[in-house]
Amino acid sequence: MGVSLKDVAQRAGVSIKTVSNVVNNYQHVTPKMRAKVQQAIDELGYRPNLTARHLRKGRTGIIALAVPEFGNPYFAELAGAVVDAAARHDYTVLVDHTGGLREKELLVSQGFRSHVIDGLILSPIHLETEDLMARTETAPLVLLGEREYEAPYDHIAIDNVAAARDAVRHLIDLGHRRIAFLGSRTGRERQPAHLRLRGWREELAAAGIEADESLVVVTDGYGREDGAVAMAALLDRGERPDAVFAYNDLIAIGAMRTLSERGLRIPDDVAVVGFDNIEESLYGATTLTTIAPDKEAIARLAVDSLVERLSGSPVPEPRRPRPGYRLIVRESTVMRPPAEQSGP
């Protein structure tokens, strides 16, 4: 039989209400009393019944996170950060996979799991603003991802244009002028690929370099194979760049494979910059320079926003905080002696 609040109260010599106040972290408890109750909790090994606590508030204690693909390490790493952030609020995370399919994104956004979740964090690919405006589900929704929306929901995303400009500026500062962009997409001007391409164009223009559109390569997807194929296509048509800025790390890693197979040295012949700072970027034969979004901040802001809306407190709508990012310089742009290698 488990330890109850009554057991803790008897051990500490206080009322059950006082124990409840300490467990629920209410402010109006003296430090001396809190320490006394906490000692009893530790001695007895008391664990709060989180399910009962949520049910008393009319909640399930579960929030959902829906991401486009589990095969992309970025989303796996982000999911881990969301689970950690939710645990600090005593929430469990149900992780869903949309496959980047519009019909599945519509399904999750319209609340097909609403009977088991309190709220949803969604990273959509194909949803349009009108889809979100037509949403009738009342459970709170927080959006992730760099695609832009004009909808009344909190949206957590880094500044893609500024991050792309930082990546391209790094390459320009190293003396590169023929900088390719791998991972462009057709249609939907507010997709992340278009925003990063816009940053590529803007930074080249700021440096007085004419953007060579023949160095922009559209890809079918965002994986390693897409990067390898895109790099091969560029080289096969005689358009050899002296540097590559890839939409994400996976495309960059695929491109680096093709460059190596063609006998081109990285970074001596072609420098490469990725985006996302997935763990794999640090462990290739040549470590990858990359833009590193602050995944922990993204997760924390998303969960905090959702929990705040679940609390019923009045909050402004919508909020669009900008988590930070940084450029991490590694061997794919600046080859260094082993003793000087950059850390993660």
Closest CA to 331 of 343, 319, 314: 343
Residue 256 token pair = 């680096």
Helices 192-206 and 160-173: crossing angle in degrees, nearest 10, is 40
What pLDDT does residue 339 have?
A: 44
- Dihedral of CA atoms 277, 281, 282, 288 in degrees, nearest 10, equals -100
154 phi/psi in degrees, rounded to 5: -60, 140
φ/ψ of 78, rounded to 5, equals -65, -40
What is the predicted pLDDT for the residue at 55? 46
Ramachandran region, residue 285 (left: φ > 0; alpha: ψ -120 to 50; beta: rest): alpha
- Chain centroid offset of residue 267 CA: 28
The SS3 call for residue 183 is: strand
Which residues share a beta bridge with 154?
A: 142
Structure tokens at 107: 């399904």
What integer pLDDT is reported at residue 189 of this predicted model?
A: 52
What pLDDT is stored for residue 268 in this prediction? 95
Nearest 5°: the CA angle 40, 43, 44 is 85
Distance (Å, rounded) from C-alpha 11 to C-alpha 185? 65
Please tell me what DSSP assigns to residue 288.
Answer: P
Residue 90: name the closest of 113, 56, 123 by CA: 56
Give the three-state DSSP class for 189: coil
Residue recorded with tokens 């910059």: 273
Helix extents (H) in 88-159? 102-109, 129-133
Closest CA to 229 of 257, 269, 191: 257
CA torsion through residues 240, 243, 245, 249, sign? positive
Judging by DSSP bridges, how do beta strands 216-218 and 154-156 pair with one another? unpaired
Q: What is the dihedral of CA 71, 342, 247, 198, to 10 degrees?
A: 150
> Could you read off the pLDDT tens digit of each residue along the chain, which spans 344 residues?
577 778 888 888 888 888 777 776 666 788 888 888 888 888 887 776 555 454 445 557 899 999 988 888 999 999 999 999 999 888 999 998 888 888 898 888 887 666 788 999 999 988 888 888 888 888 899 999 877 788 889 999 999 999 999 999 999 999 999 999 999 987 655 567 889 999 999 999 999 999 999 999 999 888 999 999 999 999 999 989 999 999 999 999 999 999 999 999 999 999 999 999 999 999 989 999 999 999 999 999 999 999 988 877 666 678 888 999 999 999 999 976 554 444 44
CB atoms closer than 10 angstroms to residue 292: 20
Q: Which of these, 315, 310, 320, 306, lies nearest to 149 by C-alpha position? A: 320
Confidence at residue 178, expressed as pLDDT on a 0 to 100 scale: 96
